[in-house]
């Protein structure tokens, strides 16, 4: 099947969160399954520089009149075929330093509606034959950045004889791409695309509704989140639309990219390890304690956090529970960046107890790997979590996840209750109520289990053995593509 994946980020070229991991791994899993898959990305500097041998395949005129070029090159893949990648050459929109979405003051760029409308527009044009050398059968758009693609396809006058299916995946419903209504005029869509059945959302322009309203199939990144977003509590105002489209909505759990996240082969770890052979993990812990200036105590349970520092991630619970964590003999190592108040609060805690608390602000891929490699527990107390990848990395690296039981966290972590431990199913610690007490109780369970090494080892073996490769997820997406084509 010929498939075009459309996203704003793609690991390893450009990553701000889990979207990039998925956008990097899914095409490669589809290639490995023998599919003819290509990707389309905005021409951000990191994309432009990371796609090799790019040649111009077409020109296109944006709906507001500017002319851009479509280029096609390849992204090398270790141990597999190259991935063919289109990128949109429009430097006045994309050639800006730093974050792809925000300026240096962390404000969204004023012209984001144009920057990402062009992504959806170019995707729809490719779907309808812009590249004479290749046309997809299915277009798969990810998140609000690419969400106008299905809308452009639905309203395109240039549709060819072949019907092209469209699939839209929600990676996080909280980020919707909302803009002032007058920007609708820039999009070149007919008036019929406005209104409650179109892109209007309480008087604003919603990119997300382009995907939710017009794609043939909608997916999100875990079965539980697929149910949650149909409720008023978690629907971010779009639950009504999602309930109406429930028949074409499904949840497919993300996988873990074994090429990138495998403790037996991870070159970013100082020592490799694997299930049943954990000497390397202990050495990773000792090395990290030294690197971060933590007390070199092999038996102090090490809790790690690798996260965007935003309200979604529930990190105020970690701050609130930190005294209890330290009082029970634990250590905390956090890597993250985001909201200024959270950065400041964690920085102060590290300054007050540098031998027990380490805080690294910023984005640091090698350190993220070393934290999972060294950690005993990975904290993911998110208020909501569409899928969550860090708990899956924690599982695979034997750093047992401690999570709020929502979304993909509920689908990937089994609480260490006596019965689930007896059945060999337990893989971590879950709490139900999103408050200090719920978090504190889960923390106490983690400490209690840690004091029972044989049980800890058994739970850790189950966690590390949990199957999580992309092959299964890719097969499920292929089913969805077939439905979108039908």
43 binds ligand ADP (CB under 6 A): no
Q: Looking at beta carbons only, is 260 or 414 nearer to ligand ADP?
A: 260
Residue among 134, 194, 363, 434 that touches ligand ADP (CB under 6 A): 363
Q: Looking at beta carbons only, is 29 or 62 nearer to ligand ADP?
A: 29
CA distance 396 to 467: 9
Minimum separation from the CB atom of position 18 to ligand ADP (A)? 2
Segment lying near ligand ADP (by CB under 6 A), choices 44-52, 234-242, 269-277, 385-393: 385-393
Minimum separation from the CB atom of position 109 to ligand ADP (A)? 20
φ/ψ region of 379 (left if φ > 0, alpha if ψ in -120 to 50, else beta) reads beta
The CA-CA-CA angle for residues 184, 186, 191, to 5°, reads 45
* Contact predicate 392/254, CB 8 Å: yes
Tokens representing 210?
């382009």
Q: Looking at beta carbons only, is 130 or 387 nearer to ligand ADP?
A: 387
Residue among 137, 166, 220, 307 that touches ligand ADP (CB under 6 A): 307
The CA-CA-CA angle for residues 380, 363, 288, to 5°, reads 70
Segment lying near ligand ADP (by CB under 6 A), choices 93-101, 152-160, 292-300, 361-369: 361-369
* Contact predicate 119/8, CB 8 Å: yes
- Tokens 């309200």 belong to 311
Stretch 425-444: interaction string toward ligand ADP, x if CB under 6 A:
--------------------
User: With contacts defined by CB under 6 A, how many residues of the chain interact with ligand ADP?
Assistant: 17
Residue among 2, 159, 183, 308 that touches ligand ADP (CB under 6 A): 308
Q: Looking at beta carbons only, is 366 or 424 nearer to ligand ADP?
A: 366
Minimum separation from the CB atom of position 261 to ligand ADP (A)? 8
Segment lying near ligand ADP (by CB under 6 A), choices 80-88, 90-98, 207-215, 357-365: 357-365
SS3 assignment, position 9 = coil
Segment lying near ligand ADP (by CB under 6 A), choices 119-127, 329-337, 416-424, 443-451: 329-337
Q: What number of other Cβ atoms are within 10 A of residue 453's Cβ?
A: 10
Selection from 3, 94, 15, 66 nearest residue 40 by Cα: 3
CA distance 142 to 331: 37
Q: Looking at beta carbons only, is 209 or 313 nearer to ligand ADP?
A: 313
Secondary structure element (H or E) that encloses residue 333, with its range: strand 331-338
365 binds ligand ADP (CB under 6 A): yes
CA distance 83 to 24: 10
21 binds ligand ADP (CB under 6 A): yes
- Tokens 């077939």 belong to 482
Minimum separation from the CB atom of position 274 to ligand ADP (A)? 20
Minimum separation from the CB atom of position 153 to ligand ADP (A)? 26
468 binds ligand ADP (CB under 6 A): no
Looking at beta carbons, which residue is closest to ligand ADP? Answer: 18
Selection from 65, 118, 132 nearest residue 87 by Cα: 118
17 binds ligand ADP (CB under 6 A): yes
Minimum separation from the CB atom of position 266 to ligand ADP (A)? 13
CA distance 184 to 243: 26
236 binds ligand ADP (CB under 6 A): no
In degrees rounded to 5, what are phi and psi of residue 303? -95, 135
* Contact predicate 404/383, CB 8 Å: yes
CA distance 306 to 286: 19
CA distance 263 to 216: 39
CA distance 116 to 93: 9
Segment lying near ligand ADP (by CB under 6 A), choices 103-111, 138-146, 276-284, 333-341: 333-341
Alpha helices (runs of H) in 340-452, residue ranges in sequence order: 340-352, 365-374, 390-396, 407-412, 418-422, 436-450
Residue among 77, 156, 262, 364 that touches ligand ADP (CB under 6 A): 364
Minimum separation from the CB atom of position 254 to ligand ADP (A)? 8
389 binds ligand ADP (CB under 6 A): yes
Minimum separation from the CB atom of position 307 to ligand ADP (A)? 5
Q: Within a 13 Å sphere around the CA of 469, how many CA atoms are in the beta-carbon half?
A: 12
Q: Which residues bind ligand ADP (CB under 6 A)?
A: 17-18, 21, 306-308, 335-337, 363-365, 368, 387-390
């Amino acid at each position: 099947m010929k498939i075009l994946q459309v996203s704003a980020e793609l690991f390893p070229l450009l990553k701000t969160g889990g979207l990039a991991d998925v956008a990097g791994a899914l095409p490669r899993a589809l290639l490995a399954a023998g599919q003819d898959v290509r990707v389309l990305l905005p021409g951000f500097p990191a994309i432009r520089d990371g796609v090799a041998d790019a040649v111009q395949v077409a020109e296109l005129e944006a709906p507001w009149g500017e002319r851009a070029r479509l280029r096609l090159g390849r992204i090398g893949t270790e141990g597999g075929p190259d991935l063919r990648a289109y990128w949109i050459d429009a430097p006045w929109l994309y050639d800006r330093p730093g974050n792809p979405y925000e300026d240096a003051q962390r404000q969204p760029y004023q012209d984001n509606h144009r920057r990402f409308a062009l992504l959806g527009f170019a995707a729809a044009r490719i779907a309808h034959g812009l590249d004479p050398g290749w046309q997809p059968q299915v277009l798969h758009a990810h998140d609000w950045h690419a969400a106008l693609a299905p809308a452009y396809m639905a309203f395109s006058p240039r549709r060819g004889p072949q019907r092209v299916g469209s699939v839209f995946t929600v990676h996080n419903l909280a980020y919707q791409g909302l803009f002032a209504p007058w920007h609708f005029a820039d999009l070149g869509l007919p008036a019929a695309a406005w209104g409650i059945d179109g892109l209007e959302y309480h008087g604003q322009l919603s990119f997300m509704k382009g995907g939710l309203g017009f794609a043939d199939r909608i997916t999100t990144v875990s079965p539980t989140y697929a149910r949650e977003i149909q409720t008023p509590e978690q629907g971010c105002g779009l639950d009504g639309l999602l309930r109406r489209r429930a028949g074409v909505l499904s949840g497919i759990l993300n996988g873990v990219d074994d090429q990138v996240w495998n403790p037996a082969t991870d070159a970013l770890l100082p020592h490799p390890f694997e299930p049943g052979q954990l000497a390397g993990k202990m050495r990773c812990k000792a090395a990290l304690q030294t690197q971060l200036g933590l007390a070199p105590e092999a038996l102090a349970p090490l809790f790690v956090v690798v996260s965007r520092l935003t309200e979604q991630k529930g990190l105020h619970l970690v701050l609130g529970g930190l005294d209890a964590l330290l009082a029970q003999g634990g250590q905390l190592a956090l890597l993250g960046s985001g909201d200024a108040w959270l950065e400041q609060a964690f920085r102060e805690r590290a300054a007050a107890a540098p031998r027990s608390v380490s805080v690294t602000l910023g984005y640091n891929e090698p350190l993220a790997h070393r934290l999972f490699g060294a950690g005993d527990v990975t904290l993911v107390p998110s208020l909501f979590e569409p899928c969550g990848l860090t708990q899956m990395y924690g599982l695979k690296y034997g750093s047992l996840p401690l999570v709020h039981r929502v979304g993909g966290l509920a689908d990937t972590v089994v609480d260490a209750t006596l019965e689930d431990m007896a059945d060999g199913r337990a893989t971590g610690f879950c709490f139900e109520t999103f408050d200090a007490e719920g978090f504190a109780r889960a923390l106490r369970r983690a400490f209690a289990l840690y004091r029972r090494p044989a049980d800890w080892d058994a739970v850790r073996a189950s966690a590390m053995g949990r199957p999580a490769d992309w092959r299964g997820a890719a097969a499920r997406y292929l089913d969805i593509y077939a439905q979108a084509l039908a």
